[in-house]
Structure 1
Amino acid sequence: MKTLYEQLGITPQASQTAIQQSFFRLARKYDPNNPANQGNAQAREQYLAVQIAFRTLSNPDARANYDRSFQKQSPMQRYKRPGAAQKTASAVKS
């Protein structure tokens, strides 16, 4: 699972300008109204994820809350993918 920063392709130290520039670039790329993305479910998912990341990171209070909650997690929790433990356990049994 990507962090909101990774979703926008920026670092946690990114400025508001960098957040906005990255958002506009990615929003254009994944825009569901773009003829190249018509019927592309993956592009729509990316577009929505980019919007959520931008809404959170462009708001200073929401960004601070996100950063605090992210820092409380262990490194394993930050990057844990849903279902990864089950897949690993079933692979070991085989």
Structure 2
Amino acid sequence: MLIVVALWDGSARFSELGRQVEGISQKMLTQTLRGLERDGLVRRTVHPEVPVRVEYELTEAGRTLREPLRALQEWAITYLSDITESQEAYDSAR
């Protein structure tokens, strides 16, 4: 869902998304964008220019994810230390 977050402020080109989503390969970015487009969450617009310019933006349905994802982000920030502590305790017990 990092791609959805990267598109919150408007449209972006493929290369911009690749820079914003750290560590994602071109293949995975392509597959993820295609899936989000298929699901109706992202719109792909091809501008007939030379060279061709392709932009991605959230659809109305995609924009509705903003609040649930923000809540998940806040939850993760709040409980990160608890999760890390639990992981360390679990790993030590093994």
Q: TM-score normalised by the shorter chain: which range applies?
A: 0.3 to 0.5
Between structures 1 and 2, the one with greater strand share: 2
Pick the structure with greater CA Rg: 2
How high is the TM-score relative to the length of structure 1? Answer: 0.40
Between structures 1 and 2, the one with greater helix share: 1
